[in-house]
Amino acid sequence: MKVQALPSVEGNFNLKNYEEAAESFDWSTVEQQFTWSETGKLNLAYEAIDRHVSGDRANKVALYYSDANRDEQYTFEDMKKYSNKAGNILRDAGVKKGDRVFIFMPRSPELYFAVLGAIKIGAIVGPLFEAFMEGAVRDRLEDSDAKVLVTTPALLERVPVGDLPNLESVFIIDESYEENGPYLNFLTRLNGANEDLDIEWVDREDGLILHYTSGSTGKPKGVLHVHNAMLQHYQTAKWVLDLQEDDIYWCTADPGWVTGTSYGIFGPWLVGATNVIRGGRFSPQDWYETLERYKVTVWYSAPTAFRMLMSAGDEVLKKYDLSSLRHLLSVGEPLNPEVVRWGMKVFDLRIHDTWWMTETGAQIICNYPCMEIRPGSMGKPIPGVKAAIIDDQGNELPPNRMGNLAIQKGWPSMMRTVWNNEEKYKSYFEIEGWYVSGDSAYMDEDGYFWFQGRIDDVIMTAGERVGPFEVESKLVEHPAVAEAGVIGKPDPVRGEIIKAFIALRDGYEVSDELQEDIRNFVKKGLAAHAAPREIEFRDKLPKTRSGKIMRRVLKAWELDLPTGDLSTMED
Ligand code: WT7
């Protein structure tokens, strides 16, 4: 693959010489950035907020928040006050160190107060994407034994409180909500709460956040990260996001996903940056307006979003003054060279791809401002972390050979367990010394990594990871569905779309209404983004003799590829 490289650019970057840093970097030097290296008192939320108040950023804007109805700003001092209050009201509700506090709501300032407040009292935060439906919410609260939930009146109907005996309190974000039983009013309590908080000092290995993410089999898994991850959040916010004192930073991801916490909360605030949060849904006008209005300088988004902006046309874009932008980044799925070229054309800036996963907790393979970019490549591992392409026995492969993308075990923000599922956790580390990502890739002679695909069947649709098994399980709950097989089908805008192959039960006839009904069933039971955009009915699905749906065969049918070895298929 030969693509024209985009040369490194001149500038005063936080990382000036990649090669040098990659050779000599030592993580213990990052510890000195934090108060705990002197006091021994450690808590990520303290370092992200309070430390800046004691320093000289008390009056610096930490958060610009806006949506269709609200337009607010909060300094670091304000953030300290409100997160302290949130910590106090959660503690009053009985939350103790290590308890799981779930946050299920659309973006709003209160979401950020609640997350930081929970962390300040040593709780483990479980953020849930607002689009999750009852089944998905139940699975996650049940698996994690959540003690407290913070949500909004509109989402409350999707929380099966009665089925969750360990859920003690539900905070509702609504001024006029009348408290009863386990239902508490978040806003009135927040108003009345003390502004001072006894922070719970924790160990660097204590739990911080639990992100549920999809695999190809089984229910979503709870990936646990610990306070120690702050080392990597901080350092990558410097090197990769290149955040500097005057930057206005916007990460478009929702905190329901790991990008929206690691780089929507932790990274930017650990380095004391000004963070823009825009609520509401995507629209090209709205996004360009947000960039223009706040004079955003550093912007972190996803290929899907860039492609949607591309397809909205450059005329829309020309109406806005986006000259404040100086650094663009992308994550979530392959960043097509086409999109990089578009970025060069319309912003006159390179879009910097970054590769990482929920499980890695922070960026791993990235393109840096000080470095040449090869469009289509994810870049190089961050200094201090070793990545490699290995075969199934753990041998490192030479350049240009495709294999498993693996990371040497032990980087600071590595997940520490899969909740309630140590076996699953161990399955990532079956090759001695390595974390095996499930992605296939190759490395070129110069150390740039090139993504090739997922090795398992996980679907990446519009930047969101969807496990085929979870969708299939939901599909077969529908009365008409006998069997279902789900695959990702390549799509120019969404990366992949979800396609379901379905065999109906006897007595059901194929119809447009039935198709729509099945789609809605998944939408309501799981989440809108998990509903199949395409459904194809078949008399029978390809299965192994042991009864496993052969998604690889479905995919081959769909894409007109050779089906490969069919020896395990039932006849
Ligand atoms: C999977 C992880 C970490 C935040 C977003 C997704 C894919 C991620 C890239 C990239 C190609 C990418 C991989 C990975 N992915 N970034 N730059 N190029 N693929 O987190 O939901 O845990 O998904 O997303 O397949 O394994 P996630």
- Ligand 1 centroid–CA 341 distance in Å is 21
For residue 451, which atom of ligand 1 is closest to its CA? 11
Q: Which backbone phi and psi does 205 adopt, to 5 degrees? A: -95, 5
Give me the residues of the chain with pLDDT under 50, please.
Answer: 1
CATH code of the region 458-570: 3.30.300.30
Complex-level ipTM = 0.99
- Ligand 1 centroid–CA 539 distance in Å is 35
- Ligand 1 centroid–CA 447 distance in Å is 19
Query: What's the DSSP call for residue 250?
Result: E
Structure tokens at 510: 């194929």
Query: What is the pTM (predicted TM-score) of this model?
Result: 0.91
Q: How confident is the model over 95-147, as pLDDT tens digits? A: 999 999 999 999 999 999 999 999 999 999 999 999 999 999 999 999 999 99
- Ligand 1 centroid–CA 460 distance in Å is 8
- Ligand 1 centroid–CA 58 distance in Å is 35
- Ligand 1 centroid–CA 263 distance in Å is 14
For residue 365, which atom of ligand 1 is closest to its CA? 17
pLDDT at 469: 83
Structure tokens at 566: 């069919």
The closest alpha carbon to 390, from 431, 422, 424, 354, belongs to 431
Contacts of 365 (CB under 8 A, 6+ apart): 354, 355, 356, 378, 379, 380, 381, 382, 387, 449
**416-419 LR contacts (CB < 8 Å, sep 24+):** 416/205, 416/207, 416/224, 416/225, 416/226, 417/224, 418/221, 418/222, 418/223, 418/224, 419/143, 419/144, 419/210, 419/221, 419/222, 419/223, 419/224
Q: Which of 331, 339, 353, 415 has most ligand 1 atoms within 8 Å of CB, for mutation?
A: 331
- Residues with beta carbon inside 6 Å of ligand 1? 213, 258-259, 331-335, 353-358, 378, 437-439, 451, 454, 460, 465
CATH (one of 3.40.50.12780, 3.40.190.100, 1.10.630.10, 3.40.50.10210) for 18-442: 3.40.50.12780
pLDDT at 571: 64
pLDDT at 1: 46
Per-domain boundaries in the chain = 18-442, 458-570
- Ligand 1 centroid–CA 156 distance in Å is 31
In three-state secondary structure terms, 110 is helix
- Ligand 1 centroid–CA 474 distance in Å is 24
Q: How confident is the model over 365-402, as pLDDT tens digits? A: 999 999 999 999 999 999 999 999 999 999 999 999 98
The closest alpha carbon to 115, from 172, 183, 44, 53, belongs to 44
For residue 360, which atom of ligand 1 is closest to its CA? 3
Q: Which of 211, 262, 354, 355 has most ligand 1 atoms within 8 Å of CB, for mutation?
A: 355
pLDDT at 173: 98
pLDDT at 248: 98
Please state the separation of Cα 85 from the chain's center in Å.
27
Smallest CA separation from ligand 1 atom 23, residue:
357
pLDDT at 94: 98
